[in-house]
Amino acid sequence: MLNAEHLNIKSKIGSDKEYLFIGCNLLIVAFISGSELWLRTRQQYHKQIVVGCGYIISYLMYFLIEPFVDGAQMLLMMPIIVSLVYFDRKLLYSLGFFSVVFYAGIYFGLERVVLHKPLLEFLLVECVFIVFVIMTQAVISRAQEAQEHLEQLTKSEQGLMVERAISDKLLKIDALTGLYNHKTFHEYLDLLLEQCESNGLRLQLALLDIDNFKRVNDTYGHWVGDLVLKEVATKLGGMIGLNDFAARYGGEEFAIIFTDKTLPEAYSYVEELRMSIASMGHPYAGGKPITVSVGLCNYEPGLGKELMFRRTDDALYKAKKEGKNTVVTAQASQGEACLLNIV
């Protein structure tokens, strides 16, 4: 049978030392509970609390176990592991240096004097400290490299998303006026017309044409003409509703799609817009007012895109013919009425 001499036990706890053993365990529980309470209730000094608690607990456990178990010094590596939690290289070096120095003080002040431990054991433990710091530093370096690589990938992906968004915007937006372009206008209109036919969505189309725009270009130059287009577009984009859609249809012509409005409401919008444009000042164009003529058409179920455009364009032509700077609402011609009846 095995006896106590064959076991790797140096001594046993005497009845007079039990209070020290219990006290150390109570201190460990108290420090862990206090640290947990601090971390949950306070927002400051989290790293310092974790590091300090790690040091105190590791050395308390070391003093509890060391008299009975060889190699208990490995518990003293616990504080260094904290640096892995934060991936902090500076913290690692600080903890490593402090551990080496602190253990040296414990060895020469306690273990060598009281426990008569050999110097070789001290040197081995210090070497383990240094090797552990080097290994931990390698882990932190690889983790930081992986993090940097991930950040680069994230930035590259974000850059691609931004470039894609910009490209998509450039494909949809007119470069001069900032409104939607001709192609995007028709794509949006097609979708809305489907909603009109299937869900009864109310829709009106307005075509606006700047009056005497060729004269502006010929008299003051094309750069003045571009300024006029920009100002009219800005006014137009600022006055329409959130559910409406404005585009530069081509040249000096603009288009507005009104949704979920009655024809009188849409007419009120374009009339207010017409008067607002007419009241704008243009000092670079001789101070003369710039006006627009407007054709407005209300969509009716079964009308179709082609007939709606024909009505709107006829209304715009009528507005031009009747003296410009006016709004004309489209009316169905007899030929269109016959065509709709056939359909």
How many residues are given for the chain? 343
Cα-based distances in Å from 234 to 240, 246, 258: 11, 10, 17
Q: What angle in degrees, to the nearest 10, is found between the helix axes of 213-220 and 222-239? A: 140
How many Å apart are CA 191 and CA 181, to the nearest integer?
16
Q: What are phi and psi of 246, to 5 degrees?
A: -120, 140
Q: Which residues are catalytic?
A: 252
How many CB atoms neighbour CB 16 within 10 A? 7
Cα-based distances in Å from 169 to 172, 174, 175, 244, 256: 5, 9, 10, 18, 19
Judging by DSSP bridges, how do beta strands 203-210 and 245-250 pair with one another?
Answer: unpaired
